[in-house]
Amino acid sequence: MPEILVVDDEELICWSIKRELSKRGYEIESALSGKDALEKLEKNPFKVLITDIKLPDISGFNVIEKARQISNSTKIIAISSYHYEGEKLTLLKKYSCGFLSKPIDINVLNSLIKMNIKSPKEDNRQKGMGVKIVDTDYDIIEILKEKNIEMKSANNDYYEEKREHIRYKVLVDVVFSINKHFVHSRTVDVSKMGAFIETEIAPDEGSAVNLDFFIPEFDNGISALAKVMHITM
């Protein structure tokens, strides 16, 4: 059965994404409206939903919310020509694993898909980036302890300047933004100084990144400015 559903009211966009992803071995189906997309999702729990936000019949935000109700395992990637802020951006970060601005960079799209549907049997070596937190209004470690998030001490530090700080192995949802897209991923470990983030999409070492940590039962995402210190791909 098709693994990926592409939703856009522009037939050319559906066709071009389908063509490029088919070359990479994926089975693709497309829909030109939100209603058509939801009907197809009811019949087949696709591994990935790629949907435009601005659709002619149903808002892409409604499609995303209903798709999540239909299947909690479907990974959602949002695409749009528009810029979103505030509540709409928070909603995108909550329900989707990535946001791409049009025109779509097919290589970034492909990396997002690979990162989210890779088989557990595939190479599970750590892939991602180590970041040093430069500025944040919260003490992430204290909040994790307060919320009783499972934390295990880790001794194999990546950076000499962090050796005096305790690092913890902990899985926390995190969103980082690069240029015109964001990626919803996980941290592998975190300390007061920084974190290591699982991803196949990362900027160059030395780049500044914006981070939003989403901690269970914590009302707001914790925003932080960080610097990429180390990349393992």
Inter-helix orientation angle 11-23/106-117, to 10°: 60
- The answer to whether 78 and 51 are in contact (CB under 8 A) is yes
Query: What is the structure's pLDDT at 160?
Result: 46
- The answer to whether 132 and 229 are in contact (CB under 8 A) is yes
Which tens digits make up the pLDDT trace of 85-121?
888 888 888 889 999 999 999 999 998 898 888 655 5
Q: Name 79's bridge partners.
A: 52, 100
Q: Is the peptide bond before 45 cis (omega within 30 degrees of 0)?
A: no
Residue 196 CA, chain-centre distance (Å), reads 15
Tokens 């699982």 appear where?
A: 198
> If DSSP states are collapsed to H, E and C, what string results for the chain?
CCCEEEECCCHHHHHHHHHHHHHCCCCEEEECCHHHHHHHHHHCCCCEEEEECCCCCCCHHHHHHHHHHHCCCCEEEEEECCCCCHHHHHHHHHHCCEEEECCCCHHHHHHHHHHHHCCCCCCCCCCEEEEEEEEECCCHHHHHHHCCCCCEEECCCCCHHHCCCCEEECCCEEEEEECCEEEEEEEEEECCCEEEEECCCCCCCCCEEEEEEECCCCCCCEEEEEEEEEEEC
Query: What is the structure's pLDDT at 122?
Result: 53
Q: What is the reported pTM?
A: 0.83
- The answer to whether 212 and 187 are in contact (CB under 8 A) is no
- The answer to whether 230 and 158 are in contact (CB under 8 A) is yes
- The list of the chain residues with pLDDT below 50 reads 158-162
